[in-house]
């Protein structure tokens, strides 16, 4: 029987409708998998070839050749980083936070991959080590390294507080990308995209479903290691929120630097290293 049009009370079969079991949107068993022995051999013998320091409330960039490891390292104090990834030779191929979330979940760790946007949709990097893997999930549902958040930015800051603040991650990433490529700021800004929130501890509240953050468990020496599957340009902002335990978009929180280190595996591991093929729908690669 149809209910009156304006009746918003729960229907008689509400409990039965809620009791339907969920299904995973994107089961990942059929994803193309990298050779696990090669992934292990990469980690066996790593030599540092480049390093850059990301100053607090600022950004920096580094180029990572395919087959090399990008280590994002906590130094000095607990600090969250906002990461953008680009294909070195084609800035329009960039990290796709939303699809990475749909495939691997709201937070990523060892074994998960970071995917590029359409029409490419291929793994840009694979997480091969995460020193915060022990954290798991806390009593509020908080986890580390999210692909939920967008990045702190001056637009939302102004909307909510009426104030201007230009050391947000969005602004830091824009300046660092402009420095890396020589593009003017207004052009670089159009390439900045939703981030991987490195070391950030976040979740959604059970009652209102709101995005929450809490002080990151990261400590100096902690690191997240990404194996570059294609030649990457990595751009990182040291968030003005510091450990993101209180607020961002201001100069209030204690902030620390982060470092990005490029580690080269043994030559024989790199010999014949193939990039993952982009989607056949990508015509720029001759598909
Ligand atoms: Zn930020």
Q: Report CA(246)–ligand 1 centroid distance (Å).
A: 12
| Per-residue pLDDT tens digits for 1-43 | 788 888 899 999 999 999 999 999 999 999 888 888 888 899 9
| Per-residue pLDDT tens digits for 104-159 | 999 999 999 999 999 999 999 999 999 999 999 999 999 999 999 899 999 999 99
Q: Report CA(193)–ligand 1 centroid distance (Å).
A: 13
What domain range includes position 177? 38-267
With respect to residue 22, please indicate whether it lies within any of the assigned structural domains. no
- What is the average pLDDT score of the chain? 94
Above pLDDT 90, what percent of the chain?
Answer: 80
With respect to residue 94, please indicate whether it lies within any of the assigned structural domains. yes
| Residue 96: C-alpha distances to residues 34, 84, 114, 193, 285 (Å) | 19, 9, 7, 8, 19
Q: Report CA(120)–ligand 1 centroid distance (Å).
A: 27
Check residue 252 and give its pLDDT: 84
What is the tally of structural domains in the chain?
1
Task: Name every residue whose Cβ is closer than 8 Å to that of residue 235 and which is 6 or more positions away in sequence.
Answer: 59, 60, 61, 83, 84, 85, 86, 173, 176, 177, 180
Check residue 283 and give its pLDDT: 78
Residue 286 has pLDDT above 60, yes or no: no
Q: Report CA(169)–ligand 1 centroid distance (Å).
A: 4
Check residue 280 and give its pLDDT: 87
Q: Report CA(66)–ligand 1 centroid distance (Å).
A: 27
CB count in 10 Å sphere of residue 51? 13
Check residue 247 and give its pLDDT: 78
- Is the distance from CB of 110 to CB of 133 less than 8 angstroms? yes
With respect to residue 276, please indicate whether it lies within any of the assigned structural domains. no
With respect to residue 19, please indicate whether it lies within any of the assigned structural domains. no
Task: Give the separation between CA 203 and CA 34, rounded to whole angstroms.
Answer: 29
Q: Report CA(195)–ligand 1 centroid distance (Å).
A: 10
With respect to residue 14, please indicate whether it lies within any of the assigned structural domains. no
With respect to residue 238, please indicate whether it lies within any of the assigned structural domains. yes
Residue 166 has pLDDT above 60, yes or no: yes
Check residue 65 and give its pLDDT: 97
**Nearest Cα to Cα of residue 257 among 108, 70, 46, 51:** 51
176-191: average pLDDT: 98
Check residue 287 and give its pLDDT: 44
Q: Report CA(152)–ligand 1 centroid distance (Å).
A: 4
């Amino acid at each position: 029987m149809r209910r009156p049009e304006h009746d918003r009370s729960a229907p008689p079969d509400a409990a039965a409708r809620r009791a339907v079991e969920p299904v995973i949107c994107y089961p990942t068993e059929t994803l193309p998998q990298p050779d696990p022995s090669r992934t292990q051999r990469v980690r066996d013998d790593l030599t540092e070839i480049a390093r850059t320091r990301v100053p607090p409330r600022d950004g920096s960039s580094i180029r990572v050749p395919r087959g090399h490891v990008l280590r994002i390292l906590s130094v000095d104090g607990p600090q969250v980083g906002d990461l953008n990834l680009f294909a070195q030779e084609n800035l329009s191929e960039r990290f796709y936070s939303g699809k990475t979330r749909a495939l691997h979940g709201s937070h990523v760790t060892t074994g998960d991959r970071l995917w590029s946007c359409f029409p490419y949709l291929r793994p840009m990097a694979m997480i091969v080590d995460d020193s915060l893997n022990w954290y798991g999930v806390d009593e509020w549902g908080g986890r580390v390294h999210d692909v939920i958040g967008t990045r702190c930015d001056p637009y939302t800051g102004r909307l909510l507080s009426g104030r201007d603040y230009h050391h947000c991650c969005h602004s830091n990433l824009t300046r660092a990308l402009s420095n890396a490529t020589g593009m003017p700021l207004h052009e670089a800004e159009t390439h900045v995209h939703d981030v991987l929130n490195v070391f950030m501890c976040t979740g959604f509240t059970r009652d209102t479903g709101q995005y929450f953050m809490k002080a990151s468990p990261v400590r100096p020496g902690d690191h997240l290691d990404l194996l570059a599957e294609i030649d990457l340009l990595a751009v990182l902002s040291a968030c003005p929120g510091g450990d993101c335990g209180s607020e961002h978009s201001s100069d209030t929180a204690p902030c620390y630097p982060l470092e990005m280190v490029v580690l080269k595996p043994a030559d024989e591991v790199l010999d014949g290293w193939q990039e993952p093929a982009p989607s056949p729908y990508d015509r720029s690669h001759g598909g």
